[in-house]
Structure 1
Amino acid sequence: MTELPVQQVIYELSETLATQGRAVLSAPPGSGKTTLVPLELLNSPWLDGNGILLLEPRRLAARAAAARMASLLGEQIGERVGYSIRLERKVSRNTRIEVVTEGILTRRLQQDPELPGVGLVIFDEFHERNLHSDLSLALTLDTQQGLREDLRLLVMSATLDQHAVSRLLRDAAVIQAQGRQYPITHHYLDQALDKTKIAEQAVKAIIRAWQNEQGDLLVFLPGVGEIRSAQKLLEAQMKNQNQPVLISPLYGDLSKDDQDRAILPDPHKRRRIVLTTSIAETSLTIEGITVVVDGGWSRMPRFLPAIGLTRLETVPVSKAAADQRAGRAGRLGPGVCYRICSESAHNQSLSHHPAEILQTDLAPVALQLASWGIADPAQLQWLDPPPKGAFAQAVTLLQRLGAVDQQGMITRLGRRMAELPTHPRLAHMLIHAPGDQLQLVSDLVALITERDPLSIREDGSDLALRLTLLQQWREKSLSESRYRSACRHIDRISRDWLRRLRISGRTDSNGLLSAGELLALAFPDRIAQRSAHGRYRLVTGRAVRLAEDDPLAGEEYLVAVQLDAGLNEGRIRLAASIGLKALHGLPEITLEERSVVCWERKEERVRTSSETCLGALVLSREKLINPDPEAVRAAMIEGVRTMGIGALPWSKAVRQWQLRVNWLVARLDDPAWPDLSDRWLFENLESWLTPWLETIQSKQQLQRLDLQAILLARLSWDQQQTLKSMAPTHLTVPSGSKIPLRYSADEAPVLAVRLQELFGLNDTPKICQGRVPVMLHLLSPAHRPIQITDDLAGFWQRTYAEVKKELKGRYPKHYWPDNPLLAEATHKAKPRKSGGSG
């Protein structure tokens, strides 16, 4: 067997597991931990003939690890070493080492928490921190402490915080192994990472590395979309290369043959460019790779519990992940790594990506914990506990699906859902699907969980189109070959689900459901109603949208199966149409009859209706007969509050009356007087306006109100008399005319009067029991202001003579006495009998 660095710590590791039962192994890439540790520990006496479960975070890595260990033993896979992943299981009664993915371990623990026949559980590449690894570790720790003290537990990683894991494992020993990493030369291309040009920037770096280096290239890109774009660009640019090249994509949804084509050397000896996602960061040695091109990006899901949606975010790669990527070039010999960014940008990047449990939908975790008998995650031990907000959101969804009760404990339906290896939403749909529609529901699950065979941008979001495509492939009538590989993979997944469902022993149902109706069983909170072309509103009230040219954009109702939270509003990526009649008929959809009395802002009136609702969606609406009068008045108050105090029927007279009251109140300093300012009236609408709204239901009807009488009613009889005497509406001047006073909030009232009507009056008129002189606006015979004063006596003495000269020239027919104090006041051009000289 090949000598590998990890062999130097095997004895210490075995002794630690024998005595403590738990250990943490820190070993860099290339040390042999994945394949050698299980083989070396297999014959340990403390195993007592039991087997080893080796957990890998990815199916591709699990299959590769099993194949490598079997080859080291000189055996076929399925003898002493086997593996179990989704859709594949190669084990026998002789299998002692089984490589599995974490989700499979979780289901085995649920079926039998004692894990019979297993003596050691190894978590490999734990630094990846996917959701299943955190969950399965928490459950395994609970099993070890409560049921299986003899069960050994080993956590292995290259870049993890070993001391944090050690504390989680009750201060387990941390064992350090040396690596066998060959030197790597780094080249920084000093480009600013551009999210809109990920493929283009990567291809430039690939061409440079291809020309300057020898060996095969491994290129890291954030997702399948960028891999396809880069492959297309490369194929165009490398047509005229003298050196033959094989461009191979590598990601999880590829078939085993396609994955092997990328992992193994080309039988035709062509130099390879392998375009991969983060799947190749760890636990995978791709033969022939000596050059890594790091595109600088990772794609991470981020769950937003406030809206219940997940946003896929393309983020700069963390320093730990970038180092893992570079390490792929130094597995078999000296290597080279090209990074698009600058060295300083790399050094300033995040040290690690956040664990998936901190930023993803926790419904699967919540259901598994409920099945474990736990409603509160704090009852288990976690490296990072599930965030409370996201966990509460998950429990709410499970309650809606009937999987857990109000206390968070699992129901009989929930236990059936937990047994199915898929998201609780889809498990709910699978269980409730009619027995004669198992093929359709299996197809839907496969289409939703696997890579989309079509392009949303080019083909739209309609799931019905994907179902048709799949059926054409089955009937061998699919003309375009580019869809065949994806359809073959989806069909394989569908057939596996169909097998599982038939085993469950279904009976046929009388009614058939459309694809949209079936999906509503899985996504009751994702039913969406059209609000405008391409715009929809979810049951939760959240606004989402489709591309305007999407074939589904005109549908009245949709089930939004895949949603990206987006920046401002959610974006529908996959959906199916559903009819209104179906929403009324589905037993799993709970409709609510509501009597609605509310203010309709657009129409400026109270709306009274009887509505059939699904969450925030109004499916139908009829006129409400005999609405609650109190509710109508409350809605009308809300309308006034919405429109503003100015919507009331204010006239100039009412405004002047209000100003008189407020002016007087400001000078009396008497708390018995009411505040009638706009601010107080607006803030206290319910207390003074509500009794007057019995027959009022719109802005137009508001105009019927006698607002002055309503406000006057707020004054007592004595206050009304005081208002008349101390803040009169008019003053009688020497001419006999009753002249109106014009009040303002803070200043003295204005008396605008023609000068001739004040002849004979010595002093300025006063109000408020003679305390406040009015402000005189002295007018010409043409009612134009000639003087503003509150000192009439001073005007007669100092200013009148000059004013008289000017006015006499302008208005020669009018009466301009030399001594205005002795003259007779008049409201005409001249008094009946003029007593002064003109």
Structure 2
Amino acid sequence: MKETFGVITKANLPIDSVIPELRQSLADNRNAVLIAAPGAGKTTRVPLALLTEPWLADRKIIMLEPRRLAARSSAKYMADKLGEQVGETVGYRVKMDTRVSSRTRIEVVTEGVLTRMLQADPALEGVGLVIFDEFHERSLQADLGLALCLQSQALLRDDLKLLVMSATLEAEPVAGMLGGAPIVRSEGRSYPVETIYRPKMASVPMEETVAQAIADALRSHQGDVLVFLPGVGEIRSVEAKLRGKLPEASMVRIVHLHGSLTADAQDQALAPLPPEQRKVVLATSVAETSLTVEGITVVVDSGLMRTSRFSPRTGMSRLETLTVSAASADQRRGRAGRLMPGTCYRLWSREEQQALSPRSSPEILEADLAPLLLELSVWGVQDADELEWLDSPPAPALQQARDLLIQLGALDKSGRTVTPHGKLMAEFGKHPRMAHMLLRAMPLGLGDMGCELAVILGERDFIRYEGRAANVDIRLRLEALRGRGAYAVEEGTRRRLTEEVKRLRRELDIGFASASESSVDDIGLLLAFAYPDRIGNRRDNGKYLLSGGRGAEFAFGQALAHEPWIVVADVDDKGSDSRIRAAAPVDFEQLEANLQDELHTETQIYWDTVSKSVRGRARKKLGALPVEETPLSRPPADQVLQALLEGIRLEGLELLPWTKAARQLQERTVFIRHHDSSWPDLTDDALIGSIEQWLAGYLEGMKSRSDLQRLNLKDLLESMLSWEQRRELENSAPTHWTVPSGSRVPIDYGDIDAPTVSVRLQELFGLPETPRIAGGRVPLTLNLLSPAQRPVQVTRDLASFWSNAYFEVRKDLKGRYPKHYWPDNPLEAEATRRVRPSK
């Protein structure tokens, strides 16, 4: 029995049993969540099953797929089930490829297409249902698309329905975000899969381990083999090693499956082979979900994936090879049991399996958020918190994105409002860097090369070096793409990239310029438009300082390492000096002529620690890069004053002309304040802290240490005291004390707890008690000296000294100074400054 949409012609799949429940859930609610195991058939069954629902009212279904390959494949599969061509009832829109018509009711979209549709028509008129497939992958575009759809539903379209479909997602948080949406679950169906753990040996390259596992699997099992590898480079390496392990007359065909293949090549990788042939599919994580590769009974999993990690601290992204999550490992394993019992080789141990993280981190938490923030700004959202998110965008990454968009001119200086230039950038559907580059390139007649460069920068290095060291010069990639130069490109890859360039030219309505008309030497300028924060100037040590403030360097042997100016398109963001992976030289005159917004002159008035004076200079800079420096002959007086004060703060108060009288005045005041907090604080720390108040007014016309020597520091400090305080200071903290011999001995206030006088013992004869200051509250500390001015005793209790210690001291001094006067009773003796008292 065949029905156009309600019943699928193929044998029933697990999802079919919950279709009635799903239909009812969407009939009764605006939103729903569908959890279905891999292989249940949700991607291709659900859209067709819902197409005749009354609430849809002949409107469209939009289904968002996170991967282009899955979008094309699922659309083709659904069209086949209807006996139609893609582009009739079922079509797709992916990057650089669209197959839809006026008859299309189901559109499978990806690569930000849904976002473009929403920006063009926020109400999504003519659309009744938006499906988010494989939502567990938590792509940035899926999170953004769902947030925008929820706001559109809340403000503009209360009849718009949303369906989130996933294999491994925790359903409850999503259902809560969808307003308490019902959750429909399908248990799925899969055949038993035997898991074989074969840990990699540290001494054996990963590619060799994988190739050997594939060879063993081909000998031990029937059917085709699906191999998961982190990237294209590893795919090529494994293929080379595997061919060396297969007999010459082998009927095994090795194919690649990854996102950068042409559509035809992807179709060939998925297509079944004649019965006498076997297939080994070397794939990236693109094959984890939404695809059924016919004939697969064995999976060989390297346990690795490659992902882009963004650092808000540096503003740079880097590709990292990571261990897969437990959820991804289970998804990969399940590919072996889609059609019949299978086997999975995991190239790690059971113990390592237990240590895997449960699931991968959402892209929104680790991605460059400049594209997302630009879309939000065009949407009219100034604060990301205005929307509903399963995981909110991190604030540091949003701030870095805001800074970049301001620099590119997409947002105004406040970072809150999108500019006309920013709106044009958003319409391109590309990263803001690339969109800005293309918009700047076209008026200069470089739009054609800009399209080539945009395609090149969207690819990993595609040059075949054939044993030679990789070269980071992007000019070589452009030459290779054009079919020239010393490096070759796989012909299929070159054709695919060339087609992408042509499509982009058509989108932008850019006429083709021959390669001879556009010099590869202009690449540096185009890169500078895209990466104004990564313009590099060579330092004396051979490393580069980038305009964004980061350091970078080339690996040994790169010819570009001698260029004075470069622009960096890709770095590894490791260490203090990032390793440059893609760059091009640039002529500074081109930068100066075309990046006026990035050039600025800053006036710097600063304290020079060498000359001990204020200096002024004007520095022309490109971002953080000094370009030109000239001295300032007449710097502004207010800035000179601030620099001079900063010099005093930096060097300390010793920069000022301290006399003995000034220092003693400071110490006396500090002593009094120690006992009376109403007095001003003249400690060094307090003076430094209040330098603006007590010193700045006396520095007019001064700019060096020698100028400061004209200051009368004692008078300045004294001016901070009232007339009453000055008089009190003389009474309570005198500068000198007159001893019984008549000498005026200075008082040392260096220790606020123990002001000290140093005096010869003979000058104190006849003095019964220790003298006191501060209104009698503080006894002086007496540092008693010998006739030769050497210390013999320290005391704060003179009466006790006369009664006790004096006689021992007298015995010693009499032996050393026999001619001097050492009376038996010091209290009745005459004080003297001489050897003996005068008669």
**TM bucket by the smaller chain?**
0.7 to 0.9
Distance 1:426 1:688, change over 3 A: same
Instruction: Name whichever of 452-461 and 705-714 sits farther off.
Output: 452-461
What is residue 324 of structure 1 aligned with on the other side? Answer: 331
Q: Which amino acid aligns with 2:408?
A: L
Residue of 708, 714, 718 corresponding to 1:712: 718
Post-superposition offset of 1:86:
2.4
Instruction: Name whichever of 97-106 and 560-569 sits farther off.
Output: 560-569
Does residue 40 of structure 2 align to residue 34 of structure 1? no
Q: How does 1:18-167 map to 2 (within 5 A)?
A: 23-41=32-50, 52-72=61-81, 81-90=90-99, 97-111=106-120, 121-140=130-149, 153-167=162-176
Post-superposition offset of 1:231:
6.1
Does residue 637 of structure 2 align to residue 629 of structure 1? yes
Does residue 292 of structure 2 align to residue 285 of structure 1? yes
Q: Which amino acid aligns with 2:457?
A: I
Q: Which amino acid aligns with 2:426?
A: A
2-side partners of 1:621 and 1:82: how far apart? 60
CA contact (8 A) 1:442 1:494 kept: yes
Post-superposition offset of 1:58:
0.9
Q: How does 1:502-581 map to 2 (within 5 A)?
A: 502-503=509-510, 514-528=522-536, 533=541, 542-547=549-554, 549=556, 551-552=559-560, 557-563=565-571, 565-566=573-574, 572-581=580-589
CA contact (8 A) 1:605 1:698 kept: yes
Post-superposition offset of 1:70:
4.8
2-side partners of 1:21 and 1:803: how far apart? 104
Unaligned runs of 5+ in 1: none
Does residue 836 of structure 2 align to residue 831 of structure 1? yes
Q: Which amino acid aligns with 1:753?
A: V
1-side partners of 2:725 and 2:417: how far apart? 67
What is residue 751 of structure 1 aligned with on the other side? Answer: 757
Residue of 277, 283, 289 corresponding to 1:276: 283
Please, what is the CA RMSD of the aligned residues?
A: 4.5
Distance 1:13 1:755, change over 3 A: closer
Residue of 587, 603, 615 corresponding to 1:607: 615
**Aligned-partner SS, 1:514:** helix
Query: Once the two structures are superposed, what CA deviation does each residue of 1:126-185 show, in whole Å capped at 9, x if it has no partner?
Result: 222212223334445566677777766543221223344444555554333342211223
Q: Which amino acid aligns with 1:428?
A: H
Residue of 312, 321, 333 corresponding to 2:340: 333
What is residue 479 of structure 2 aligned with on the other side? Answer: 471
Does residue 434 of structure 2 align to residue 429 of structure 1? no
**Aligned-partner SS, 1:742:** coil
Does residue 352 of structure 2 align to residue 355 of structure 1? no
Instruction: Name whichever of 772-781 and 697-706 sits farther off.
Output: 697-706
CA contact (8 A) 1:537 1:544 kept: yes
Post-superposition offset of 1:663:
1.9
Q: How does 1:294-443 map to 2 (within 5 A)?
A: 294-305=301-312, 308-310=315-317, 312=319, 315-339=322-346, 343=350, 346-347=353-354, 349-375=356-382, 377=384, 382-384=389-391, 386-387=393-394, 390-391=397-398, 393-404=400-411, 408=416, 410-433=418-441, 434=443, 436-443=445-452
2-side partners of 1:209 and 1:518: how far apart? 44
Residue of 783, 787, 790 corresponding to 1:784: 790
CA contact (8 A) 2:38 2:167 kept: yes
1-side partners of 2:317 and 2:698: how far apart? 50
Instruction: Name whichever of 735-744 and 259-268 sits farther off.
Output: 259-268
Distance 1:637 1:331, change over 3 A: same
Distance 1:283 1:656, change over 3 A: same
Q: Which amino acid aligns with 2:680?
A: P
Q: Which amino acid aligns with 2:836?
A: P
Q: Which amino acid aligns with 1:452?
A: D
Residue of 675, 690, 693 corresponding to 2:696: 690
Distance 1:584 1:283, change over 3 A: same
Percent identity of equivalent pairs: 45
Q: TM-score, normalized by length of structure 1?
A: 0.83
Query: Once the two structures are superposed, what CA deviation does each residue of 1:535-582 show, in whole Å capped at 9, x if it has no partner?
Result: 555555x43323474655565554443355547676654344444444
**Aligned-partner SS, 1:254:** coil
1-side partners of 2:311 and 2:560: how far apart? 26
CA contact (8 A) 1:461 1:572 kept: no
1-side partners of 2:518 and 2:633: how far apart? 36
Distance 1:227 1:659, change over 3 A: farther
1-side partners of 2:723 and 2:162: how far apart? 89
CA contact (8 A) 1:251 1:259 kept: yes
Post-superposition offset of 1:204:
4.2
Unaligned runs of 5+ in 2: 1-8
Does residue 500 of structure 2 align to residue 496 of structure 1? no
**Aligned-partner SS, 2:112:** helix
Query: Once the two structures are superposed, what CA deviation does each residue of 1:729-784 show, in whole Å capped at 9, x if it has no partner?
Result: 33344555443333332333333233344445554444445554432323334433
CA contact (8 A) 2:257 2:281 kept: yes
Q: Which amino acid aligns with 2:501?
A: S
CA contact (8 A) 1:303 1:361 kept: yes
**Aligned-partner SS, 2:438:** helix
**Aligned-partner SS, 1:783:** coil
CA contact (8 A) 2:193 2:344 kept: yes
Post-superposition offset of 1:235:
5.2
1-side partners of 2:344 and 2:402: how far apart? 45
Post-superposition offset of 1:674:
1.7
2-side partners of 1:410 and 1:770: how far apart? 75
Post-superposition offset of 1:48:
6.4
Post-superposition offset of 1:451:
1.3
2-side partners of 1:452 and 1:432: how far apart? 25
Q: Which amino acid aligns with 1:128?
A: E
CA contact (8 A) 1:52 1:98 kept: yes
2-side partners of 1:36 and 1:670: how far apart? 85
Distance 1:284 1:792, change over 3 A: same
Q: Report the number of matched residues.
A: 819
Q: How does 1:625-704 map to 2 (within 5 A)?
A: 625-650=633-658, 654-667=662-675, 669=676, 671=678, 673-699=679-705, 701-704=707-710
What is residue 6 of structure 1 aligned with on the other side? Answer: 15
Distance 1:621 1:96, change over 3 A: same
**Aligned-partner SS, 1:29:** coil
Q: Which amino acid aligns with 1:622?
A: T
**Aligned-partner SS, 1:562:** strand
**Aligned-partner SS, 1:60:** helix
2-side partners of 1:544 and 1:298: how far apart? 28
2-side partners of 1:321 and 1:430: how far apart? 37
What is residue 456 of structure 2 aligned with on the other side? Answer: 447
Distance 1:340 1:567, change over 3 A: farther
CA contact (8 A) 2:474 2:584 kept: no
Query: Once the two structures are superposed, what CA deviation does each residue of 1:594-640 show, in whole Å capped at 9, x if it has no partner?
Result: 44334456765433233444555554333334333222222222232
CA contact (8 A) 2:30 2:160 kept: yes
Instruction: Name whichever of 141-150 and 272-281 sits farther off.
Output: 141-150
What is residue 214 of structure 1 aligned with on the other side? Answer: 221
Q: TM-score, normalized by length of structure 2?
A: 0.83
CA contact (8 A) 1:611 1:621 kept: yes
Q: Which amino acid aligns with 1:337?
A: C
CA contact (8 A) 2:464 2:489 kept: no
Residue of 251, 261, 283 corresponding to 1:254: 261
1-side partners of 2:491 and 2:634: how far apart? 62
CA contact (8 A) 2:215 2:242 kept: no
2-side partners of 1:765 and 1:340: how far apart? 90
**Aligned-partner SS, 1:627:** coil
